[in-house]
Structure 1
Amino acid sequence: MFRRSFVSALVGAGTLAAIRTPALAADHKPVVGLVMKSLANEFFKDMQEGAVQHAKERGDFTLIPVGIQSETDIDGQIAAVENLVTRHVDAIVIAPADSRALLPPIARAIKSGIKVINIDVAFDPASMKKRGVDIAFVGPDNRDGARLSADVLAAKLGRGGKVVILEGNPGAENGVQRRLGFMDSINANGLKLLDSRTAHWETEEANSVFANMLTAHPDIQGVMAANDSMALGVVKAIDASGRSGKIQVVSFDNIPAIRPLLENGKVLATVDQFGAQLAAMGVDNALKEVQGQTLTGWIKTPVKLIKGRDAG
C-alpha cells in the first residue's frame, strides 16, 4: 500500500540538499535521489514537500531532492543525475524534463548499479529500447486526464466552439499525451481548433503566446492549457484584453494557485494528478527495486477531474 504524501522546495540547478531522517533502520539506509523539474512550478514544490514528509514518515531511507531552475533546463537535470551517480546513491526517482535527452545519463546510472524509477513524464520507449534499458513508469494517464478537462470546455461551448491549445515541452511525453487528449475531445465534440503552440509549461511565456494568439484569432472562445502554470498566464492575458468571462479556460494539475480561479469562474476545470503522492509512490517502488524486486511497465496512478464554479 503506497503512502500518500507530497513535496516541493526550491533547489537550484544541479544543487543537491540531503534530507536526513531519524535512524529507524539498524544498518545502512538506502539513499534515494529525487530529480524533479522546475521548482518554480507549484506542482513540483508540492512534490518535493510530499517526498520529504514521506521520508520522515518511513524513516528507513535518506532522501536527496533536487529541482531545476526552469522547465527547459535539461542540462541542469543531466548535471543533477551525474552528481547523484558520483555520490553513489542507491536509487534515482526522476521526472525528466525531456523524455529522450535524460536517457543517456540515466542509462549510465543504471549501468553503475543504481536503481531507477521514472515518474510524471514517461521516458520514450524507442529510446529506452535503443539504450537497452527498461525503466518502470509510475504516473497518470495524461491523455485521458486532458480529455476529461477538455470535455468540460466542449460541453460549455457546444459544437463548433473555437479553441486553441497551449502545449507543454515538445520533448516531454506528458506534454505530447495531453495534446493528444485535447485533440481527442476536439474531434469527438466537433470543436474547431484555431491554433496550437507550446509555451514550455511557463506562466510568462504562456501569457505572451496567448496574447499573440488572441491578436491573430480574436474569435477565440476557449483555451486548453496543458498545465495550470500556463493557464495562469492565459487568464492574465484574457483579463488584460478586457475579455474576462468571454473566453473559457481548462487546464491540468490542480496547483494551489489555480483554485481561486476555479472558484471565481475564470477557469472551468483542471485535473488533479496527486503530485504530492506521485513522488512518494516513486520512492516506494524504487526501494522495492533496491530490495531485489524487478519492476517494469506502467504503474498507473489516478487522475481526478476538478470542476470550477461555472462548469455546470
Structure 2
Amino acid sequence: MNRLALFATLLLTLAPLSSVSAQTAKKHKIGALTKSLANPYFLQMKQGYDYAEKKLGVDVVFGSTPKEEEDVEQLNILQSWLAEGSLEGYVVTPFRATSLNSVLTRISRKNLPIINIDELIPEETAKADDIKIVARIASNNVEAGILDAQLVLSSVPKGSDVAIIEGDPGTTSSTERVTGFTNAAKEGGLNIVASQPANWDRKKASELATNMMEGDHNLKAIFVANDDMALGVVHATQATGATGKIIVVSVDGTPNALDALKQGLLAGTVAQYPDAMAYMAVETLVKKLNGETVPEKVDSPIKLITKDNLSDAGKYYKDE
C-alpha cells in the first residue's frame, strides 16, 4: 500500500474530523509549538502544520527551538504567546512531560483548548498540574519498538547480542520505544548487553555505539530510539568496518534515514509520519473551537520501512 492509499485510509477512519474545510470553518488563529527543526522529524512536522494551514483555512503561528533539549527556550515561546493573547488554542510537543506545564496550567485556567501531540504528557501529570488536554495524538511508540525488534529477530540468530541507544530517558517517547523493543527482543531470545542514553544527540550516539562495538565483538544489532541518533551509529559502524556485520534499526522515517536505508547502512526505521500527526492536531483543534466533540486520544499511523517498501515512506499527504 503506497502512502497516498495509507493517508486515504487514515482519513476514512477519522471521518468525523474530516468535515472541517477552508470553506466552512471560521478563520481561527492557533499556536503550534514543537521541538527543534534541527531534527528532520520536526521539520516534517512543520510541513504538516503548513499543509493544514492551507487546507483548513486556519492561521497557524508556529514555534520551535534552534537546538534539541532547549526546555527554557520552548517555555519562553509559549509564555510569549499567552501574554500576547491572540491565540484561540494550542498544539504542543514538549521536550519532556513536565517542561511546559507551568504555562499550560495558565492556558487551561483561561479555558483555551490544548492538543498534545507526539511527546505526550501523561494523564496523571496533567491532572496534578490542573492542565486540561482536549486530545492526545501520537504514534504508538511501544509498537514502534516492537516492530524494530521483529525485524532484528528475523535478521540475526536467536541468542545474539544486541544493544540499545536510548534518547532522553526522561521522555515518554524514548521510554516507550525502548520498552517495546526490550520486551519483544527478550521474548524472542535475544541477549540485550547494553542500554544507554544519548539524549537525542547524534555525536553522543556515535560515541556510545563505538564503545559498545569495542566492548562486545559478538554484537549483532543496535536499536536506536530515533533516526538522527541512528545516523551517528551508522557513522560509527562505517568507521569501525562493521557495516553489514551489525544491523542498525531506528524510529522516525526521516529523509536522511531513508537515504541511509537505500544505501544499505540502515536495516529499518519505523516511519511515524509527523506531518500527518500535525495535520490531525490542527483539524482536531479547529473542530473543538467550532464546538464539536472530538476524541480524547488518537493513534497516528506508523509503518516499518525497509529497503523492500521504501515507497511507503516520506510525507503522508500529497503537495498541491
TM-score, length-scaled by structure 1: 0.87
Q: Give the aligned partner of residue 210 of structure 2.
A: 211
Post-superposition CA distance 1:239-275 (Å, at most 9, x none): 0111111110111111000112212222111111111
Q: Give the aligned partner of residue 18 of structure 1.
A: none
SS in 2 for 1:252: strand
Post-superposition CA distance 1:182-227 (Å, at most 9, x none): 1122122111111111111222221122222223333321000111
Post-superposition CA distance 1:125-168 (Å, at most 9, x none): 22112123341211111101111012101111121111111111
Query: Which of the numbers 101, 108, 111 marks the counterpart of 2:109?
Result: 111
**Counterpart contact for 1:154–1:185, Cα < 8 Å:** no
User: Which shows bigger deviation, 209-218 or 266-275?
Assistant: 209-218
Q: Which amino acid aligns with 1:174?
A: S
What is the CA–CA distance in structure 2 between the aligned matches of 1:121 and 1:215, rounded to whole Å?
A: 33
Query: Which of the numbers 66, 70, 73 marks the counterpart of 1:69?
Result: 66
SS in 1 for 2:64: strand
What is the CA–CA distance in structure 2 between the aligned matches of 1:255 and 1:26, rounded to whole Å?
A: 34
What is the CA–CA distance in structure 2 between the aligned matches of 1:235 and 1:27, rounded to whole Å?
A: 46
RMSD of aligned alpha carbons: 2.2
**Counterpart contact for 1:134–1:296, Cα < 8 Å:** no
**Counterpart contact for 1:267–1:308, Cα < 8 Å:** no
Q: Give the aligned partner of residue 118 of structure 2.
A: 120
**Counterpart contact for 1:154–1:161, Cα < 8 Å:** no
Q: Which amino acid aligns with 1:70?
A: K
Q: Which amino acid aligns with 2:214?
A: T
SS in 1 for 2:35: strand
Q: Which amino acid aligns with 2:115?
A: I
Note closer, same or farther for the CA distance 1:161–1:130 as it changes in structure 2 (3 Å cut): same
What is the CA–CA distance in structure 1 between the aligned matches of 2:212 and 2:292, rounded to whole Å?
A: 50
**Counterpart contact for 1:163–1:220, Cα < 8 Å:** yes
Query: Which of the numbers 100, 112, 119 marks the counterpart of 2:98?
Result: 100
* Residues paired across the two proteins, number: 289
Q: Which amino acid aligns with 1:153?
A: V
SS in 1 for 2:90: strand
**Counterpart contact for 2:69–2:95, Cα < 8 Å:** yes
What is the CA–CA distance in structure 2 between the aligned matches of 1:271 and 1:199, rounded to whole Å?
A: 19
TM-score, length-scaled by structure 2: 0.85
What is the CA–CA distance in structure 1 between the aligned matches of 2:220 and 2:96, rounded to whole Å?
A: 31
Matched, 1:132 2:130: yes
SS in 1 for 2:60: strand
Matched, 1:278 2:269: no
Note closer, same or farther for the CA distance 1:151–1:26 as it changes in structure 2 (3 Å cut): closer
Q: Give the aligned partner of residue 7 of structure 1.
A: none
SS in 1 for 2:245: coil
Unaligned runs of 5+ in 2: 1-6, 8-21, 310-320
Q: Give the aligned partner of residue 219 of structure 2.
A: 220
What is the CA–CA distance in structure 1 between the aligned matches of 2:132 and 2:157, rounded to whole Å?
A: 43
What is the CA–CA distance in structure 1 between the aligned matches of 2:75 and 2:204, rounded to whole Å?
A: 24
**Counterpart contact for 1:204–1:233, Cα < 8 Å:** yes
Q: Give the aligned partner of residue 15 of structure 2.
A: none
1:69 to partner: Cα distance: 2.2
Percent of aligned positions with the same letter in both sequences? 28
Q: Which amino acid aligns with 1:273?
A: Q
What is the CA–CA distance in structure 2 between the aligned matches of 1:220 and 1:87, rounded to whole Å?
A: 54
1:87 to partner: Cα distance: 2.1
Post-superposition CA distance 1:9-44 (Å, at most 9, x none): xxxxxxxxxxxxxxx779973211111111101011
Q: Which amino acid aligns with 1:161?
A: S
SS in 2 for 1:251: strand
Matched, 1:163 2:179: no
**Counterpart contact for 2:52–2:279, Cα < 8 Å:** yes
What is the CA–CA distance in structure 1 between the aligned matches of 2:295 and 2:75, rounded to whole Å?
A: 23
Note closer, same or farther for the CA distance 1:27–1:258 as it changes in structure 2 (3 Å cut): closer
What is the CA–CA distance in structure 1 between the aligned matches of 2:41 and 2:25, rounded to whole Å?
A: 34
What is the CA–CA distance in structure 2 between the aligned matches of 1:58 and 1:289, rounded to whole Å?
A: 14
Note closer, same or farther for the CA distance 1:303–1:70 as it changes in structure 2 (3 Å cut): same
Alignment of 1:172-251 (within 5 A): 172-251=171-250
User: Which shows bigger deviation, 79-88 or 294-303?
Assistant: 294-303
